[in-house]
Amino acid sequence: HAKAEGRDMYAFFSLSMTSRARAVLQVRHELRRAVERGQFVLHYQPQVDLRSGRIVGAEALVRWQHPERGLIYPGSFIGIAEDCGLIEPLGAWVMHEACRQNKAWQDAGLPPLIMAVNLSARQFQRNQVEQLTGEAIAASGLAPEWLELEITEGMVMQNVELAIEVMQRLVATGVRLSIDDFGTGYSSLSYLKRFPIDKLKIDQSFVRDLGQSGNNPAIVTAIIALAKSMELKVIADGVEDQSQMAYLRRQGCDEIQGYYLSKPVGAERFAPLLAADGHYGAQVAA
C-alpha cells in the first residue's frame, strides 16, 4: 500500500491550495460518514513467542473499507480523524471490536492471547481512555489481562506526571501497557523506570537494519538489554526475514511480529492460525 499512498500524496500535493483545502474537507466528510456507517474493519497481526513458536498476542490494526476506493490504511486517515474529532468514536469502535473479537475466540475454545490496541495521543490526553477500556471490557466480558494498550513515548512525555497517573489508573483495572515504536521518541530512561508498563516494542526502523551486512545492530541489542534489566518483556516489530529473527533470538528478544510470520489479516484468516497451536514452531526454531 506504500505505493498507493505515495500516489495519493503526489496527487494531493500537486493540487492548488484551494483544491487541497477542498480535498481535506472531502476526506473529512467521507470519514465522518464512514464512522456513522461503521465502514471499518480490524486486521490482526500475530505476535509470536520466540521460544515456543506460539501466538501469544495479536495487534489490532484498523482499516477503512471505502465504498469506492477500497481498503485504506490507517496512515492515510488516523491523523485526519485526530484533527477533526473523529478519533474518539473511531477509537471507541476499535476498542469494543478488538475486545469482542478476542472474547469470541476464547469462547470458541481457541488458545487465549493478548489483544494489543493502539491508542492515539488524543485519546490518551483526553483522559477518557480509562472509561472506554472499562466499558469495552464490561460489554465484551473479556478479562482485562487479555487487553494491552499500546502507547508511544511522545504521548507520555508531553505531561509525564499526568501520564503516569493515567497509566497507573489503567493498570489498576487489570489491563497491560506497552510502549510502541520504542526508540524513535525521546523518553528519559529515568522516567521509563516509573512507567507501569509490561513491554517495549522495538521500532521497525531498527529491526530493518538487522541482518544486512555492515549495519550496526547496536540499538536493537541495547533495547533488549534495557528491557531485560528493567524486567520488561520485549517484542520486535517489522521482522521480515529469517536472519532478523535469528539475531533477535540470539539476543534474547521475547517475541516477534512482522511480515516474516504474517501480515495483518482479517479475523476469518487469523482464527485458523490461532487454531494451529504452535503453528510457527518450526519457522521460529529454524
Q: Which residues bind ligand C2E (CB under 6 A)?
A: 45, 61-62, 73-75, 78, 91, 94, 118-120, 150, 180-181, 204, 237-240, 257-259, 264
CB of 58 to ligand C2E, least distance (A): 12
Q: Which listed option, ligand C2E, Mg ion, none, makes contact with residue 259 (CB within 5 to 8 Å by class)?
A: ligand C2E
Report 95-134 residues binding Mg ion (CB under 5 A).
118
Give the residue with the Cβ less far from ligand C2E, 8 or 194. 8
CA distances from 56 to 118, 203, 257, 277 (A): 17, 19, 11, 10
The three cell numbers of residue 126 are: 483526553
255 near Mg ion (CB under 5 A): no
* Span from 16-24, 39-47, 124-132, 149-157 in contact with Mg ion (CB under 5 A): 149-157
Give the residue with the Cβ less far from ligand C2E, 58 or 110. 58
Number of H helices, E strands in the chain: 14, 9
Q: Which listed option, Mg ion, ligand C2E, none, makes contact with residue 58 (CB within 5 to 8 Å by class)?
A: none
Give the residue with the Cβ less far from Mg ion, 150 or 254. 150
CB of 152 to ligand C2E, least distance (A): 8
d(CA 56, CA 70): 31
CB of 237 to ligand C2E, least distance (A): 6
150 near Mg ion (CB under 5 A): yes
d(CA 273, CA 266): 11
153 near Mg ion (CB under 5 A): no
* Span from 20-28, 127-135, 179-187, 251-259 in contact with Mg ion (CB under 5 A): 179-187
Q: Which listed option, ligand C2E, Mg ion, none, makes contact with residue 12 (CB within 5 to 8 Å by class)?
A: none
Give the residue with the Cβ less far from Mg ion, 163 or 179. 179
Residue 221, H or E segment: helix 218-229
CB of 58 to Mg ion, least distance (A): 11
d(CA 257, CA 261): 7
Residue 257, H or E segment: strand 255-257
Kindly determine how many residues on this chain lie close enough to bind Mg ion according to the rule CB under 5 A: 4
Q: Where are the beta strands (DSSP E) in 67-213?
A: 70-72, 114-118, 147-152, 176-182, 199-202
Give the residue with the Cβ less far from Mg ion, 49 or 150. 150
Give the residue with the Cβ less far from Mg ion, 118 or 133. 118
CB of 107 to Mg ion, least distance (A): 25
Asked if 255 and 49 count as a contact pair (C-beta separation under 8 A), the reply is yes
DSSP state of 120: P
d(CA 224, CA 235): 9
CA distances from 216 to 58, 208, 229 (A): 29, 11, 22
d(CA 145, CA 246): 29
- Positions touching Mg ion (CB under 5 A) are 118, 150, 180-181
